[in-house]
Amino acid sequence: MQFIDEAKIYVKAGDGGNGAIAFRREAHVPRGGPSGGDGGDGGDVAFVADPQLSTLLDFKYQQHYRARSGEPGRTKDQYGKAGEDLVVRVPVGTLVKGEETGEVLVDLASAGQRAVICKGGKGGRGNIHFKTPWNQAPRHAEPGTPGEERTIRLQLKLLADVGLLGYPNVGKSTFIATVSRARPKIADYPFTTLSPHLGVVGLSNHRSFVLADIPGLIEGAAEGAGLGHRFLRHVERTHVLLHLLELSHEPGREPEHDHDVINRELARYDAALAQRPQIVVLNKLDLTETREAYPELRARFAAQGIDLLAISAATGEGVDVVLEKAWSLLDKARSAREAPGTPAGDQA
């Protein structure tokens, strides 16, 4: 399935039905008076977060959504039928924004959450409501009001506990395939991962967390270089970042350089991301040169106050230690966010 995480669509609620102008024409009822009923209300357009969905692909093929309008009023005091609401299902984690203002209308961050985006129009009153002692046969009724309409932008932000970061080809896809049942594409060329992948990591004592494999970031990602700008939003909701590094043969590529570049891009995209708890891990310990270089690299990172762990995603060596540390930081982050007095703005 193609992963689509942004879409622009037009939505319109139903119009209210017009009120009716009618008079009784019944035998043995002289001067029957007005009998025009009210028009029905137009249907709302509501969005619902559906945990069964994982992409905005459907909105690539259908960009216009209209709820039904209310029926007009009828004779004999009959009211028009209200238009049915249109329920649009989107993945959990979808932001609904106004296209013109960029204002966030709603953040559908929990399964089953429902929000009305466009309110249906009100049905007009029929002439039965306008009879007065001095106007026994009113010949006017109200028209229905139009339903709200707007162009909106949908943006999907994956809901994951831990975000997996790093340059292309540092082994993120191999890591998530090792620790979960996710099966991303793995190959030896840049940007193997063209879309984020989610995997559930299971630990002992029935513990688990969701890990997101974010496509490789490069320098300039915050401005749109590579694939980073498109996917940086998917780490915004994570509580912990797991940063994979490698000993690269590319000119100018050193683990410290890669670490600094990625963190600068995070800070340029969102300053809060750079402050998020981060585990820094040297991957590919199964390679002799990486194993030999690790002690010196660990000492250099320690001088910066960073505890550099080492693993081999291919063989599984050291992976359990990293996962336990991720759980520990995640548990602390959750406790801090649930603590009384936590500012609303600190919520991911």
**DSSP per residue, 224-281:** T-TTHHHHGGGGTT-SEEEEEE----STT--HHHHHHHHHHHHHHH-HHHHTS-EEEE
Nearest to 167 by CA among 202, 207, 216, 200: 216
Q: Which two tokens stand for residue 258?
A: 């890669």
Helix, strand or coil, per DSSP, at residue 291: helix
Mean pLDDT of the chain: 83
Question: pLDDT, tens digit, for every residue of 133-156?
Answer: 888 889 899 999 999 999 999 988
Please give the model's pTM, rounded to 2 decimal places.
0.66
200, β-bridge pairs = 210
Is residue 348 predicted with pLDDT exceeding 70? Answer: no
pLDDT higher at 186 or 82: 82
% pLDDT > 70, the chain:
85
pLDDT at 323: 93
Spell out the domains of the chain, with CATH numbers in brackets: 6-156 (2.70.210.12), 162-346 (3.40.50.300)
- Which stretch of 93-102, 267-276, 309-318 has the lowest confidence by average pLDDT? 267-276
pLDDT at 247: 87
Kindly state the average pLDDT of the residues 42-71: 91
pLDDT at 344: 41
CA distance 29 to 124: 27
CA distance 323 to 305: 20
For β-strands 240-245 and 278-282, DSSP reports them as parallel
pLDDT at 88: 95
pLDDT at 210: 84
At residue 240's C-alpha, the angle toward residues 236 and 245, to 5°, is: 100
pLDDT at 284: 92
DSSP string, 80-134: PPPPPPEEEEEETTEEEEETTT--EEEEE-STT-EEEEEPPPPPPPPGGGG-BTT
Question: pLDDT, tens digit, for every residue of 189-231?
Answer: 444 444 567 778 888 888 888 888 876 554 443 444 444 455 6
